[in-house]
Amino acid sequence: MPKHYTDFLAKHGIKSTHQRNLVLDLLHQMNSPASAEEIYQKAALLQPTLNLSTIYRTLELFSSKNIVTKTILSETKKAIYELNTAGHKHYMVCVKCKALLPLENCPCALIEEAVSSQGGFEIIGHKLEIMGYCSRCK
Protein backbone atom coordinates (compact mmCIF):
# COMPACT_ATOMS: atom_id res chain seq x y z
CA MET A 1 0.00 0.00 0.00
CA PRO A 2 1.46 3.38 -1.02
CA LYS A 3 1.88 5.63 1.97
CA HIS A 4 4.40 8.04 0.58
CA TYR A 5 2.04 10.94 0.94
CA THR A 6 0.90 10.47 4.52
CA ASP A 7 2.81 13.49 5.77
CA PHE A 8 1.88 15.58 2.80
CA LEU A 9 -1.78 14.81 3.30
CA ALA A 10 -1.62 15.35 7.04
CA LYS A 11 -0.19 18.77 6.35
CA HIS A 12 -3.43 19.54 4.53
CA GLY A 13 -5.53 18.05 7.27
CA ILE A 14 -6.39 14.98 5.24
CA LYS A 15 -6.21 11.37 6.27
CA SER A 16 -3.96 9.09 4.33
CA THR A 17 -5.71 6.22 2.61
CA HIS A 18 -4.74 3.73 -0.02
CA GLN A 19 -7.01 5.39 -2.59
CA ARG A 20 -5.83 8.91 -1.92
CA ASN A 21 -2.20 7.92 -2.13
CA LEU A 22 -2.92 6.13 -5.37
CA VAL A 23 -4.61 9.16 -6.89
CA LEU A 24 -1.76 11.40 -5.78
CA ASP A 25 0.70 8.99 -7.34
CA LEU A 26 -1.13 9.06 -10.63
CA LEU A 27 -1.45 12.83 -10.58
CA HIS A 28 2.28 13.09 -10.14
CA GLN A 29 2.93 10.78 -13.05
CA MET A 30 0.73 12.71 -15.45
CA ASN A 31 2.15 15.38 -17.64
CA SER A 32 -1.18 16.92 -18.55
CA PRO A 33 -4.57 17.26 -16.91
CA ALA A 34 -6.85 14.24 -16.96
CA SER A 35 -10.53 13.62 -16.47
CA ALA A 36 -11.90 11.68 -13.53
CA GLU A 37 -12.64 8.82 -15.88
CA GLU A 38 -9.08 8.72 -17.19
CA ILE A 39 -7.66 8.75 -13.69
CA TYR A 40 -10.11 6.04 -12.76
CA GLN A 41 -9.02 3.83 -15.67
CA LYS A 42 -5.39 4.04 -14.62
CA ALA A 43 -6.19 3.57 -10.95
CA ALA A 44 -8.41 0.58 -11.59
CA LEU A 45 -5.47 -1.27 -13.13
CA LEU A 46 -3.66 -1.04 -9.83
CA GLN A 47 -6.66 -1.47 -7.55
CA PRO A 48 -9.59 -3.06 -9.37
CA THR A 49 -12.07 -2.66 -6.51
CA LEU A 50 -11.69 1.08 -6.53
CA ASN A 51 -14.79 3.02 -7.47
CA LEU A 52 -15.31 5.99 -9.76
CA SER A 53 -17.19 7.89 -7.08
CA THR A 54 -14.17 7.61 -4.82
CA ILE A 55 -12.12 9.25 -7.55
CA TYR A 56 -14.62 12.07 -7.77
CA ARG A 57 -14.73 12.50 -4.02
CA THR A 58 -10.96 12.43 -3.76
CA LEU A 59 -10.45 14.93 -6.55
CA GLU A 60 -13.11 17.20 -5.08
CA LEU A 61 -11.40 16.98 -1.70
CA PHE A 62 -7.98 17.73 -3.17
CA SER A 63 -9.50 20.57 -5.12
CA SER A 64 -11.00 22.10 -1.98
CA LYS A 65 -7.56 21.98 -0.37
CA ASN A 66 -5.95 23.49 -3.44
CA ILE A 67 -3.88 20.39 -3.98
CA VAL A 68 -5.28 20.02 -7.47
CA THR A 69 -6.91 22.45 -9.86
CA LYS A 70 -10.11 21.61 -11.61
CA THR A 71 -10.87 22.99 -15.03
CA ILE A 72 -14.02 22.66 -17.08
CA LEU A 73 -13.36 22.34 -20.80
CA SER A 74 -16.11 24.17 -22.58
CA GLU A 75 -16.17 21.94 -25.61
CA THR A 76 -16.81 18.70 -23.78
CA LYS A 77 -18.09 20.13 -20.51
CA LYS A 78 -15.91 17.62 -18.74
CA ALA A 79 -13.76 18.46 -15.77
CA ILE A 80 -10.04 17.86 -15.95
CA TYR A 81 -7.71 17.77 -12.98
CA GLU A 82 -4.03 18.30 -12.37
CA LEU A 83 -1.66 18.97 -9.50
CA ASN A 84 -1.68 22.59 -8.47
CA THR A 85 2.03 23.10 -8.94
CA ALA A 86 2.06 26.80 -9.79
CA GLY A 87 2.01 27.92 -13.37
CA HIS A 88 0.38 25.90 -16.14
CA LYS A 89 -3.15 26.97 -15.45
CA HIS A 90 -4.29 27.63 -18.99
CA TYR A 91 -4.31 25.50 -22.07
CA MET A 92 -4.56 25.76 -25.77
CA VAL A 93 -7.04 23.17 -26.99
CA CYS A 94 -6.72 21.74 -30.46
CA VAL A 95 -10.25 21.57 -31.81
CA LYS A 96 -9.29 18.71 -34.05
CA CYS A 97 -7.16 16.26 -32.10
CA LYS A 98 -8.18 17.62 -28.68
CA ALA A 99 -4.56 17.99 -27.63
CA LEU A 100 -3.97 20.17 -24.58
CA LEU A 101 -0.97 22.44 -24.82
CA PRO A 102 -0.02 24.31 -21.68
CA LEU A 103 0.29 28.05 -21.92
CA GLU A 104 3.77 28.79 -20.66
CA ASN A 105 3.51 32.48 -20.22
CA CYS A 106 0.00 33.13 -19.01
CA PRO A 107 -0.99 36.69 -19.69
CA CYS A 108 -2.69 36.88 -16.30
CA ALA A 109 -1.21 40.17 -15.33
CA LEU A 110 -2.17 41.71 -18.63
CA ILE A 111 -5.72 40.45 -18.32
CA GLU A 112 -6.31 41.51 -14.78
CA GLU A 113 -4.78 44.86 -15.46
CA ALA A 114 -6.98 45.43 -18.48
CA VAL A 115 -10.03 44.38 -16.52
CA SER A 116 -9.34 46.15 -13.28
CA SER A 117 -10.12 49.39 -15.00
CA GLN A 118 -13.75 48.38 -14.66
CA GLY A 119 -13.95 49.38 -11.03
CA GLY A 120 -16.07 47.72 -8.41
CA PHE A 121 -15.28 44.13 -9.27
CA GLU A 122 -12.83 42.30 -7.07
CA ILE A 123 -11.03 39.70 -9.13
CA ILE A 124 -10.12 36.47 -7.40
CA GLY A 125 -9.30 34.41 -10.45
CA HIS A 126 -9.89 33.76 -14.07
CA LYS A 127 -10.23 31.00 -16.65
CA LEU A 128 -8.66 31.22 -20.03
CA GLU A 129 -8.95 28.71 -22.82
CA ILE A 130 -7.46 29.13 -26.26
CA MET A 131 -8.99 27.22 -29.15
CA GLY A 132 -7.27 26.47 -32.41
CA TYR A 133 -5.19 23.97 -34.32
CA CYS A 134 -2.02 22.47 -33.01
CA SER A 135 1.03 22.30 -35.24
CA ARG A 136 0.24 18.78 -36.43
CA CYS A 137 -3.43 19.40 -37.27
CA LYS A 138 -2.95 22.73 -38.95
Q: Name the site residues for DNA (rule: CB under 7 A).
A: 1, 6, 14-20, 35-37, 47, 49-54, 56-58, 60, 77-79
In the complex, the smallest distance separating the C-beta of residue 93 from DNA, rounded to whole angstroms, is 15
Q: Site for a second copy (CB under 8 A): which residue of 45, 66, 77, 86?
A: 77
Sheet with strand 34-35: strands edge to edge: 34-35, 79-83, 68-72
Q: How crowded is residue 109: how many other Cβ atoms within 10 Å of its Cβ?
A: 8
Residue 107 sits in the site that holds a second copy (CB under 8 A): yes
Decide whether 27 or 58 has the Cβ nearer to DNA.
58
Q: Which entry of DNA, a second copy, none binds 129, CB below 5 to 8 A by partner kind?
A: a second copy
Calpha distance 84→30 (Å, rounded) = 12
Contact between 114 and a second copy (CB under 8 A)? yes
Whether the Cβ atoms of residue 40 and residue 25 lie closer than 8 Å to each other = no
Q: Does 132 bind a second copy (CB under 8 A)?
A: yes
Q: Does 120 bind a second copy (CB under 8 A)?
A: yes
- Give the whole-angstrom CA distance, residue 79 versus residue 50: 20
Among 3, 60, 72, 84, binds a second copy (CB under 8 A): 72
CA angle 68, 130, 65 (to 5 degrees): 10
Q: What is the smallest separation between the CB atom of 56 and DNA, expressed in angstroms?
A: 4
Helices 36-46 & 52-64 angle (0-180, nearest 10): 120
